[in-house]
Structure 1
Amino acid sequence: MEDLLGTGGTSVVWRARDEVLGRAVAVKVLAGSADRERIRDEARNAAALSHPNLAQVFDYGESDGTPYVVMELIDGETLERRLAAGPVPPDEAFRLCAEVAAGLAAAHVAGLVHRDVKPANIMVTTTGAKLVDFGIAAPAGAGEERVLGTPAYVAPERIMGGAVTPASDVYALGVVLYKLLAGVLPWPGETTTGVVRDHVHTPPSPLPDQPGVPKPIAALCMSCLAKDPANRPPARFVADTLARAAARAVLGEPVARTPRWRLALAAAAVGVMAGAWLYSGASPLREPSGPSGPAGGAASGAPPAATSSSSSTSSSAGPVTVAATTSNGPQQGGGAPPTSSAAPSASPAPSLSAAAPVTFTSDGGTAAARCADGRAELTAWEAARSYKVETVTPGPAATATVTFRHGNDLVDIAVTCAGGTPRSEVTTRKR
């Protein structure tokens, strides 16, 4: 052992040297009477993964009965410390979260859920972000006898005793992205109990408009924070979208442009161009302009409430146990039962090429969709005046949906594929 790198509630990390391979490494040693199985599981979980945005594990062993893990030595600082030094520019926030999302996508493909995504577990290096500490990772679909994690970043379904899923990691990453862009958490809770209750019951405060944060990225962030895990985008989608936003920010290009799917309705030649553009992977998320803009409202109304530093910054001492139940159950929607319209309020325009999206309209807004390998994918969506985008499940999936809201009135556009052609069902209901 050479230098002490850090201490936590369950372990101590030292800088050391691998005398066999002649390289510097980090050695994580179990502290005191902490759970020996947890550090062994961490080694096994992390060792099964190989990705540039995940810390690599080299070895596991025991010395005089004390377990230790030999890991990649990361030259950098935690994102938590980076935040303490001052605001993070939007383009840097996009890049860092894109890299973490890419690492999470690799873990999810391997069937692992991290369960403790937070700034203290993200290392910022000269070569990119690295997600560390798989100490409480679990197989996707596993149940939880007790909820482990840092309260400010625990998804609502985990608090309510749901199964471990990749969507829970996406939720935590959405909290991280929100905090990087807004400087505060998305909820006003100032105590652990308050934060936990907010996760389950309180809609996140809308991300405030600010220079350098395009509307599509704000919409993506809010989609990650959806209460229903089915309405959150997958980690790979988040990674790709944020990576494109970061690249465009560096090049000085706008992220949100006039939707090219509109041009596909004009002429066949433009439809072919739109198809090529979509297949290039440059399709943007669309979010309406502000209340006075041409497209209607933003995702919600009030500015975010201030949060005390004790609730918005997690401790580096490691994860804590969160109560698996709360005093009140999840809020249920009220009002009249959903009523499905017989057909969309406007028939879809014919597709002019195999890749060109089809446009569907409703009282709440417009959505464009296409079919790929029998799965529906939303390529663009826009709220009508006085409506706002509530949730989006863009796909590709058996059913891709977007929900628009005006007060307590909700309008859903659900798109499926039949014979390679998008079909929609428009539903109006009360919140």
Structure 2
Amino acid sequence: MACLDDKVAHGLAMGTLDAETSAAARQHIDTCDSCRDLVAAVATEAAPAPEAIGRYQIESVLGSGAMGVVYEAKDPQLERRVAIKLLRGDAHRDRLLREARAAAQISHPNVIAVFDAGIADGEVFMAMELIRGRTLRQWLADKERTWREIASVCVKAGRGLAAIHRAGLVHRDVKPDNILVADDGRIVVTDLGLVRAEAGGSPIDGNAPIDLTQTGALLGTPAYAAPEQLDGPRDIDARSDQFGYCISVYEALAGARPFDGATLSGLRESIDRGPATLARADVPARIKTALARGLAADPAKRWASMDDLVDELDDVLAPKRRTAWLAVGAAALAVASGVALYAVARSRVPGPSCNLGASTIAADWNPDVRASLGNAFAASKVTYAKSSWDAAAKLLDDYASQWARAYDEACAATNVRKMQSAATLELRNQCLERRRVELRALLDVLRAPDATQVDQVSNAIGSLTPPSACGDSELLAAT
């Protein structure tokens, strides 16, 4: 289909096109940024921003499309800025409420945080954290990226998906447009609207275009859907997300998707034939092999979990060999306007058992520290201090688990799998020690929180350097 004219763009934005034209237009804007922007602009002009949605005071439009609009808003009760997602029409009400309920269960730096949801003036809205940045697709289009840059971003997105799976949920619509690259460098998985599926479903027309998205039929965007999703909404699990994730990573690296087909049946046949070879020469063979496994038509042949897949990708990012390592001396770390200063200590290498991560991080984050900080938040007298701390404590639990896993993985890579040198292990452990220094500094600040710190604690935790960065060769080399 050629680029959209004003009439078609308006019809798509307002939902007035016939099914065939709408399907072709949606397929086109999936790969055409200018037409996607045109539809968003038309939708915004056709639906002026309200002054308020519920208690939230609308300030500007962040984005818009055929299904709804996202506003920047102020929450006068909690005195913070949020993003408000408003979905047009009753037909999608269940989907948005499902998204809000599912997202609210997850606390992870790489998953967008949801604060509130409800119905205002007959339309469903969801209040979530405001993130300044771009989609992965836009980030890739900004300039040419190295395979390491792309893989590093995708690994973080994969960690977010793994957190969603640990909550017992399935995203069902993993694609570059649902991964955000924040201006501060944080990577966030968003748009959890299809995490819950109704049992059963209707048969899917094999001649339908590949952009079909419908509750009860196909859940997700077909170009990124696993074959079991194309066959119907039965037997969908975390491995289906893994398939969409691998398509997204493949596309980010190669500039094209691994499967083609103008219809669902054509796409399904392409999947059965297997993915096209990732032709980019500088991408390591190990990454290509990992993605090919995640793109297997048979779910049983994919990775057992997102954690396993992401650990494999992350391990490739770590340097295989380092003839010399840079000694790390005393490093100054200022947190909260320079109130904390710590010396970075050299970390000891654990024994071959490689199970000391949990006990090591427990020296900094444990039930006693949790209780003490909870009392400090309560003493702040901020009305929402308890809910703020409860959310923060979950984030800290997850951060500590990530740290322990990274620590044990670093040990195993040298002492069990024999895949990295002792010098590289030392570098990774020093990097992980710096992560502990950051964590301790933040925890010290939180021992006497003011109202601003109570409000922003989750954002502060989200800004901590993730332990997974200690497997990033570029960061290690810059140490």
Q: What's the TM-score once normalised by structure 1's chain length?
A: 0.56
1:245 and 2:316 aligned = yes
Q: Partner of 1:197 in structure 2?
A: 268
Q: Distance in 2 between matches of 1:105 and 1:203?
A: 25
Match of 1:165 among 226, 229, 237: 237
The amino acid across from 2:257 in the alignment is: L
Q: Partner of 2:163 in structure 1?
A: 106
Q: Partner of 2:404 in structure 1?
A: none
The amino acid across from 2:222 in the alignment is: P
The runs of 4+ residues in structure 1 deviating greater than 4 Å are 141-144, 249-253, 277-281
Q: Partner of 1:17 in structure 2?
A: 74
CA distance change for structure 1 residues 3 and 128 in 2, over 3 Å: closer, same or farther? same
CA contact (8 A) 2:171 2:241 kept: yes
Q: Partner of 2:257 in structure 1?
A: 185
Structure 2: any 5+ residue segments left out of the alignment?
A: 1-57, 202-215, 325-348, 358-414, 418-479
CA distance change for structure 1 residues 250 and 70 in 2, over 3 Å: closer, same or farther? farther
The amino acid across from 1:134 in the alignment is: L
Q: What is the identity percentage for the equivalent residue pairs of Structure 1 and Structure 2?
A: 39
Secondary structure at 2:86 match in 1:
strand
CA contact (8 A) 2:224 2:247 kept: yes
The amino acid across from 2:238 in the alignment is: P
Structure showing the higher helix proportion among its residues: 2
Q: Distance in 1 between matches of 2:126 and 2:84?
A: 6
Secondary structure at 1:206 match in 2:
coil
The amino acid across from 2:129 in the alignment is: E
CA contact (8 A) 2:90 2:123 kept: no
Q: Partner of 2:191 in structure 1?
A: 133
CA contact (8 A) 2:250 2:257 kept: yes
Secondary structure at 2:91 match in 1:
coil
Q: Distance in 2 between matches of 1:199 and 1:73?
A: 39
Q: Partner of 1:119 in structure 2?
A: 176
- CA displacement, residues 260-293 of structure 1 (integer Å, 9 cap, x when unaligned): xxxxxxxxxxxxx9x9498899xxxxxxxxxxxx
1:231 and 2:288 aligned = no
1:156 and 2:201 aligned = no
CA distance change for structure 1 residues 251 and 224 in 2, over 3 Å: closer, same or farther? farther
Match of 1:214 among 284, 294, 299: 284
Q: Partner of 1:366 in structure 2?
A: none
1:97 and 2:154 aligned = yes
Structure showing the higher strand proportion among its residues: 1
CA contact (8 A) 2:137 2:176 kept: yes
Q: Distance in 2 between matches of 1:34 and 1:250?
A: 56
> What is the aligned-residue RMSD (CA, Å)?
2.9
Q: Distance in 2 between matches of 1:149 and 1:192?
A: 15
Q: Comparing both chains, which one has the higher relative contact order based on Cα–Cα distances under 8 Å and sequence gaps of 6 or more?
A: 1
Q: Partner of 1:342 in structure 2?
A: none
CA distance change for structure 1 residues 9 and 250 in 2, over 3 Å: closer, same or farther? farther
Q: Partner of 1:55 in structure 2?
A: 112
- CA displacement, residues 153-200 of structure 1 (integer Å, 9 cap, x when unaligned): 0001121234111000000000011111111111243x2446523454
Give how far 1:237 is off: 1.1
Q: Distance in 1 between matches of 2:293 and 2:180?
A: 25
CA distance change for structure 1 residues 19 and 221 in 2, over 3 Å: closer, same or farther? same
CA contact (8 A) 1:115 1:148 kept: yes
Q: What's the TM-score once normalised by structure 2's chain length?
A: 0.50
The amino acid across from 1:85 in the alignment is: D
Give how far 1:5 is off: 0.6
Aligned pair count reads 261
Q: Partner of 1:297 in structure 2?
A: none
